[in-house]
A and B are shown apart, each in its own frame.
Chain A
């Protein structure tokens, strides 16, 4: 069956339909990762986005329960050049096609994804929609242009109720802005007693639980649309060790007086080299962000940059000068992507332990 990808700028791509037959609209973004399509699709940071894979062959190893990054993905569509006919992997439990059908996500294959990527690169991210017919092409484009995408993305993906992920060591609260399972996995590996809280949680609610640390998760959208969260962070800064990841990082920067901006087409993929300023060490990092912290805006705040992307100088991590708090723009928990920076979770644990030690004294 034919399906069409229509872009805000009037470009129309014809391809083959797979996945769900829903008609969807979203912001169109591309990822350059060559593996990990399942993790990307289930990453809530892609909520309301149509995800283009530059790697032309998708679906090769199917889908399995281990690799979910969330259970109800809110990604709006999957665009690729070629969908594998046969998925081959010992862990395969489902095919990508069937998985997308079940999750109401439409897919389109047979697209010149390289051309599409270049359009996004040149014009910046824009709106797009996946439709099953373009009989009235002008109308479709007009409708698309008129569509206002929600800025309440976090509300859509964050948990409504707190839930625990029990462990026997440090008590950590994860504020869920659209948290990837890999964050919980890394905490679980370190035997943390984790409680995941909705993004609406207040500073008081957090402090009442007396956690050893707070992790501000990744999530979709513009950090500035979450003033409550910024307030919450301001309320816990200095009172409890904090680690921020991706959206969590942006929120922590905003809470400390820095500013964020929307990037032209963002960083999505996992070959972004990031230098740790203190050691000069470079790690390849898993990234998925359309917003970034303005380096100039960090001046005069209590935050110091700790990591930068070596090619375009994007701020990739900051640390608080006085308080036990740091955050990274990239995902140290990878999934998908390289594990080069996973030891940042150990740093978080050390930070917690140090703080506990101080309080014990």
Chain B
């Protein structure tokens, strides 16, 4: 054995909060790595600020630090733990960058700490564009002509030399942040300036565009003995030009001949050997569709999103093996964890085809720029497996959980030919639907290829789908056509649309003719060797390989792709549910469609079905597995939405019954329950005319909360303070009779809070109350929150506990539920109830030590809280204070307003814990990347009705030594109140104005509360965008500012005259 015995304690760096470009995949890789290191007998110290992850669970590492991933904070941990080594290659770019920073401080030398996996020189050679180019030149491997520049002028000069179009790639930024394709000088000037700004090194690469080339990725591994191999090859359906994270990707490559493939394989292995990487590495290549000419686009010297995808696509656990390699083990001595009969030194052979489709946040961010380019915009992704590409693609499409259930999009059908062509040329997230639509309209393969440069092979797959669609429409109730359609991945729902019948009728017809799917195993070796992997996907073929076991089983539905509002938290809860079921002796079967997560690691559950989470797909698995029942409470809204359908098909939904789920989710039924219990909730009514809206508003009294009833998730919800504002609102969102009424609710000023309660049907356990820091009206997912509550009296807490208990019992909750409250004038009002696990479950589980999803699962399976040994009611509060802070990805999404409101916008969260509230706050801000200097300048642009409150905030900033900058009106108000406020010009004033202050980084913090100023050309919007673009901390709520001040004041000395 070559395992290192000279090191004992290893520190693993996580990737921090989830942002676009760095998502749940690092929870998966980090968890695998920590477990692998423990398995080899090392003591593992983990640092990660993201509480929503499995990797930060106590049993994953020996010492878990939920602390900010900053040099300062990691240094403190190093000084306590004395690790022998740090493994930085599993925490994404954050982990890698942090390792570089740590090395610069000298602490690694001081403590004699070794970096495992990839040495710093290799990181530098892969990440620094110039060094990378030099290395490629030395290896005689081609890269597109490019030059690193530090100024916009250098950029334009070079572009003139090599010719447009060019691509701007900022150095050391994640997911290509700030980069983009430029067709002319004007675009280059704009994008290069932005990119230089965002690059920590003020460096951009200007590169000749090779848009239209095939984009190919290889996931490669190497060990210290120089064994190197390819785990998976992938081909982007979208040619070079669209970020690979935003591309539809298939595995293995489909349009490469063996010569093409081996040429690129040779190149990839040469690179990983040259960089001497010990572990996994991702190589992105561009191949000319008309010659052997290829270019290397990029090398990631670490595990990445693509390696998570490759692991799930092949079954080969890259991160686990990367960790083992990092401690000296070699591929030819590690057993292949899939077959358990062969060695890890094995290039997987696939006998299926995998499709990945990114999941974009544009359902939430309707105003965002949806065009795809070199800047990644997706928040998550789905993966599907099939025995042909049509099947795998259509399964992936129906896994997306967007408005479209399949490739038949009504919006596309309505579009004019011109619009369709436009959407083909300018790729957006929805291009796949327009591609199919184009073929429906008779466009030829050549025409569509001309417009999109997508390989004709892929286009033909889409054309084939359209042909089968037509065949279906022309052959209603024809068995042969049905069989064919199922073989090519058509859902019952799609067939029903084309047959103008119901999915249930199609299902009945299908079942009565024994057209049912079989399940095939993912085994890394295309069945060459016997394998026991419990990892399956459905297909319409002959032999079913998944056997129902004799053990009693429970099916757990996961939460699908990561999107805003449904993040990694739900995967956390799913995994814990599985653990609890296993402890109870059940076989836990997981169904999920998300390749990034821990729950889709086949070693987590007893059986994994990698499948779309639609009713049809779930019913198919149930028909085979005959489980005791299905647990839906932990898979977020995705799983809950399946409840009614499953119930209607006679499936036993475990825990809270479907009828009772309805009572929590249906507004009217819920109102009845509230009335019955004599609880308080904000008053409200429904209006169908503008006059009615006004009448209700007057009746309730301003401020009121208004929203159209037909939109979900807080879209177009606004707090209205006056008739004028209401008129303006109504001019944009006119109510209409019938389907589109407007809901008007009293807006109660006060403190929001929430609880997650576990109920066994009779008794209730409340692990903790979380107090929101921001005012009501900001989505709970975007609020900072603190546990235990800092401003609630004992009486209020008792009220909350009492209401929770009453509601849980009345709604016959069995399992877990989440309740949102508002405390208004000493009274507790119920805002809403979610009859399922919420995003606070991991956070609260970690701080209270109560494994909530597990306790809830036991309750669901019939073990009462008392039997489980829990005291009822509110659990004793912890001595430490923990603060949750949201993290946003605004700098990846142009045109999304960063002003916080009722609609959720954050992509991730961090946690800060300390003995005092202020210190916990400080850590949370630090973890969220908001580090402020001791003194500096803060810009205040404040809405009129916030001015009084803002005055207090401004005073405290001044007291701390901060200078205040403000526009004329606000400045005068502050000056009148005795403050020194510097006047800066408004946006439309002559330069220099406040935008120059932002651009020149003369400001350290921007506070902007101009919430009604949401139009894209409004001052408020422009100020917020500018702050985000220039990476200046931005706050849009005064309560957040108050919290920040608390944190900052705590670290500064008092400066008071006697």
Contact with B along A22-44 (1 / 0, CB 8 A): 00000000101111101100000
Chain B residues with Cβ below 8 Å from A311 are 341-343, 346, 529
A330 to chain B, nearest CB (A): 14
Interface stretch, picked from B255-263, B811-819, B914-922, is B255-263
Q: How many angstroms from the CA of A281 to the CA of B260 in the assembled complex?
A: 25
Q: How many angstroms from the CA of A86 to the CA of B467 in the assembled complex?
A: 14
B504 to chain A, nearest CB (A): 28
Q: Are B345 and A81 closer than 8 Å at their CB atoms?
A: no
Chain A residues with Cβ below 8 Å from B266 are 338-339
Q: A91: CB under 8 A from chain B?
A: yes
Q: Are A34 and B350 closer than 8 Å at their CB atoms?
A: yes
Q: Are B257 and A269 closer than 8 Å at their CB atoms?
A: no
Q: A210: CB under 8 A from chain B?
A: no
Chain B residues with Cβ below 8 Å from A335 are 258
Q: How many angstroms from the CA of A311 to the CA of B340 in the assembled complex?
A: 11
Q: B1040: CB under 8 A from chain A?
A: no
Which one of A33, A57, A91, A273 lies within 8 Å of B346 (CB-CB)?
A: A273
Q: How many angstroms from the CA of A64 to the CA of B259 in the assembled complex?
A: 11
Q: Are A271 and B262 closer than 8 Å at their CB atoms?
A: no
Q: B1024: CB under 8 A from chain A?
A: no
Q: How many angstroms from the CA of A113 to the CA of B528 in the assembled complex?
A: 12
Q: Are B258 and A57 closer than 8 Å at their CB atoms?
A: no
Q: Are A57 and B464 closer than 8 Å at their CB atoms?
A: no
Interface stretch, picked from A99-107, A114-122, A190-198, A321-329, is A114-122
Q: B948: CB under 8 A from chain A?
A: no
Q: How many angstroms from the CA of A39 to the CA of B252 in the assembled complex?
A: 18
Given A57-B388, A271-B349, verify A336-B225 contact (CB < 8 Å). no
Decide if the interface of chain B is mainly helix, strand, loop or mixed: loop
Which one of A13, A113, A121, A337 lies within 8 Å of B258 (CB-CB)?
A: A337
Q: How many angstroms from the CA of A13 to the CA of B541 in the assembled complex?
A: 11
Residue of B nearest to A115 (CB): B543
Q: A88: CB under 8 A from chain B?
A: yes
Given A55-B351, A66-B259, A311-B342, verify A90-B226 contact (CB < 8 Å). no
Q: Are B257 and A61 closer than 8 Å at their CB atoms?
A: yes
Q: Are A55 and B259 closer than 8 Å at their CB atoms?
A: no
Q: Are B255 and A60 closer than 8 Å at their CB atoms?
A: yes
A263 to chain B, nearest CB (A): 12
Given A35-B257, A339-B262, verify A115-B541 contact (CB < 8 Å). yes
Which one of A85, A270, A310, A334 lies within 8 Å of B343 (CB-CB)?
A: A310
Q: A72: CB under 8 A from chain B?
A: no
Q: Are A275 and B457 closer than 8 Å at their CB atoms?
A: no
Chain A residues with Cβ below 8 Å from B415 are none
Q: Are A114 and B388 closer than 8 Å at their CB atoms?
A: no
Residue of A nearest to B254 (CB): A60
Q: How many angstroms from the CA of A32 to the CA of B347 in the assembled complex?
A: 11
Q: Are A338 and B528 closer than 8 Å at their CB atoms?
A: no
Chain A residues with Cβ below 8 Å from B527 are 54, 114, 117-118, 121
The interface size of chain B toward A, counting residues with CB under 8 Å, comes to 56
Q: Are B351 and A56 closer than 8 Å at their CB atoms?
A: yes
Q: B444: CB under 8 A from chain A?
A: no
Chain A residues with Cβ below 8 Å from B233 are 34
Q: A302: CB under 8 A from chain B?
A: no
Q: Are A282 and B345 closer than 8 Å at their CB atoms?
A: yes
Contact with A along B305-320 (1 / 0, CB 8 A): 0000000000000000
Q: How many angstroms from the CA of A271 to the CA of B258 in the assembled complex?
A: 13
B453 to chain A, nearest CB (A): 13
Q: How many angstroms from the CA of A30 to the CA of B349 in the assembled complex?
A: 13
Q: Are B332 and A310 closer than 8 Å at their CB atoms?
A: yes
Q: Are A84 and B349 closer than 8 Å at their CB atoms?
A: no
Q: B759: CB under 8 A from chain A?
A: no
Given A90-B290, A91-B257, A334-B262, verify A56-B353 contact (CB < 8 Å). yes
Q: How many angstroms from the CA of A82 to the CA of B464 in the assembled complex?
A: 13
Q: B1015: CB under 8 A from chain A?
A: no
Q: B161: CB under 8 A from chain A?
A: no
Q: B348: CB under 8 A from chain A?
A: yes
Q: Are A114 and B528 closer than 8 Å at their CB atoms?
A: no
Q: How many angstroms from the CA of A38 to the CA of B233 in the assembled complex?
A: 20
Decide if the interface of chain A is mainly helix, strand, loop or mixed: loop
Residue of A nearest to B521 (CB): A114
Give residues 449-507 of B contacting A (CB, 8 Å).
455-457, 459-460, 464
Which one of A114, A269, A338 lies within 8 Å of B265 (CB-CB)?
A: A338
Q: Are A39 and B258 closer than 8 Å at their CB atoms?
A: yes
Q: B389: CB under 8 A from chain A?
A: yes
Q: A112: CB under 8 A from chain B?
A: yes
Q: Are A35 and B256 closer than 8 Å at their CB atoms?
A: yes
Given A88-B457, A114-B351, A334-B262, verify A275-B289 contact (CB < 8 Å). no
Q: Are B525 and A32 closer than 8 Å at their CB atoms?
A: yes
Chain B residues with Cβ below 8 Å from A275 are 332
Residue of A nearest to B331 (CB): A282
Q: How many angstroms from the CA of A54 to the CA of B387 in the assembled complex?
A: 11
Q: How many angstroms from the CA of A60 to the CA of B259 in the assembled complex?
A: 14
Q: A284: CB under 8 A from chain B?
A: yes
Residue of B nearest to A64 (CB): B257
Give residues 510-565 of B contacting A (CB, 8 Å).
520, 525-530, 541-543, 545
Given A89-B257, A311-B341, verify A115-B346 contact (CB < 8 Å). no
Q: A360: CB under 8 A from chain B?
A: no
Chain B residues with Cβ below 8 Å from A269 are 349, 526, 528
B767 to chain A, nearest CB (A): 47
Q: B445: CB under 8 A from chain A?
A: yes
Q: B641: CB under 8 A from chain A?
A: no
Q: A280: CB under 8 A from chain B?
A: yes
Q: Are B520 and A33 closer than 8 Å at their CB atoms?
A: no
Q: Are B349 and A54 closer than 8 Å at their CB atoms?
A: yes
Q: A353: CB under 8 A from chain B?
A: no
B253 to chain A, nearest CB (A): 8
Chain A residues with Cβ below 8 Å from B526 are 32, 54-55, 114, 117, 269
Chain B residues with Cβ below 8 Å from A81 are 387-388, 541
| Listed residue (A57, A87, A270, A335) with the most chain B CB atoms within 10 angstroms of its CB | A57
Given A55-B351, A88-B457, A90-B289, verify A67-B541 contact (CB < 8 Å). no
B282 to chain A, nearest CB (A): 19
Residue of A nearest to B459 (CB): A86
Give residues 277-302 of A contacting B (CB, 8 Å).
280-282, 284
Give residues 226-274 of A contacting B (CB, 8 Å).
269-271, 273
Which one of A88, A112, A117 lies within 8 Å of B255 (CB-CB)?
A: A88
Chain B residues with Cβ below 8 Å from A87 are 457
Which one of A60, A67, A117, A284 lies within 8 Å of B528 (CB-CB)?
A: A117
Give residues 173-224 of A contacting B (CB, 8 Å).
none
Contact with B along A78-98 (1 / 0, CB 8 A): 000110111111110000000
Residue of B nearest to A269 (CB): B349
Residue of A nearest to B342 (CB): A311
Q: Are B346 and A271 closer than 8 Å at their CB atoms?
A: yes
Chain A residues with Cβ below 8 Å from B229 are 273, 284
Q: B291: CB under 8 A from chain A?
A: yes
Q: Are A67 and B457 closer than 8 Å at their CB atoms?
A: no
A71 to chain B, nearest CB (A): 18
Q: B570: CB under 8 A from chain A?
A: no
B751 to chain A, nearest CB (A): 58
Q: How many angstroms from the CA of A115 to the CA of B519 in the assembled complex?
A: 12
Q: Are B254 and A57 closer than 8 Å at their CB atoms?
A: yes
Q: Are B456 and A56 closer than 8 Å at their CB atoms?
A: no
Residue of A nearest to B256 (CB): A35
Q: Are B388 and A67 closer than 8 Å at their CB atoms?
A: no
Given contacts A88-B455, A310-B343, A311-B343, 18 further A-B contacts (CB under 8 A): A33-B258, A35-B262, A38-B257, A54-B528, A55-B526, A85-B460, A85-B464, A86-B457, A90-B289, A114-B541, A114-B545, A269-B526, A270-B347, A281-B227, A282-B332, A282-B345, A284-B347, A338-B265
Q: Which 7 A-B pairs have the closest CB atoms?
A: A36-B258, A86-B460, A88-B457, A115-B543, A54-B526, A336-B258, A112-B542
Q: What are 11 A-B contacts defined by CB distance under 8 Å?
A: A34-B252, A35-B261, A55-B349, A60-B457, A61-B255, A84-B460, A90-B290, A90-B291, A275-B332, A338-B262, A339-B266
